[in-house]
Structure 1
Amino acid sequence: MPKIGHLCFPIAFFGHFQYTLTDQERIPHSPSGGDFHGKGFDFPIPFVILEVCNPQEAARVLSENLLAGYFLPCKIVVYKENETTKIGMPKPTMLISMMNHEELKKLAEDIEKRLISCIDECR
């Protein structure tokens, strides 16, 4: 079984949860993501799932292989655990690696680098 660091890009820091969500506005995302509290669920942990999609990049990915659409949009999660705010994402390279497609791998590497850069700016 792969280690969590191979599957996702997690960051833990002592930033304020609400400030982190404000900072994530630099990351274009869909408001339809999962904010459990905003959807009427009584989930005890602050946890938000952002659905992140660049339509141009999505079109490039889909033009290579329509099955890659199962991995879209990218997800970024922000949550609080033991007074620590955490932000991270599943790595696009790990998801795309299941397809064994060299051009998609290159696209995923580029997208992953840009998403990690956005996450780093939220620290």
Structure 2
Amino acid sequence: MLIEVVKSKIHRVKVTQADLNYIGSITIDEDLMKASNIIEGEKVQIVNINNGERLETYVIKGESGSGEICLNGPAARKVAVNDIIIIISYAQLEFEEAKKFKPSVIFPDETNNTLKT
């Protein structure tokens, strides 16, 4: 039996841009991606602390060290710049494996720096 568990989480990161005219997705600073074990193209859930919105999209790699968190395309309507969001990815694991699995969770600072883990 497979169950779905949290694989990676970027907890409380600030939206730096919302670009309605982009194809779609979320652009995430490459450093945040590496620290949280999220890869380009991976499906993620976005939870907006400010307004309660939840949505799913996929990840585009942003410039390393930029602190960039940009919701693109239709997702840009669900956030405002400076909103605080949580980015979560999930994995399907066998039940016994899932019991032992430890997700990658990071807690960026106010400038989206990966100093806190």
Relative to the length of structure 2, the TM-score reads: 0.32
Structure number with greater Rg is 1
Q: Which is richer in helix? A: 1
RCO higher in structure (CA 8 A, sep ≥6): 2
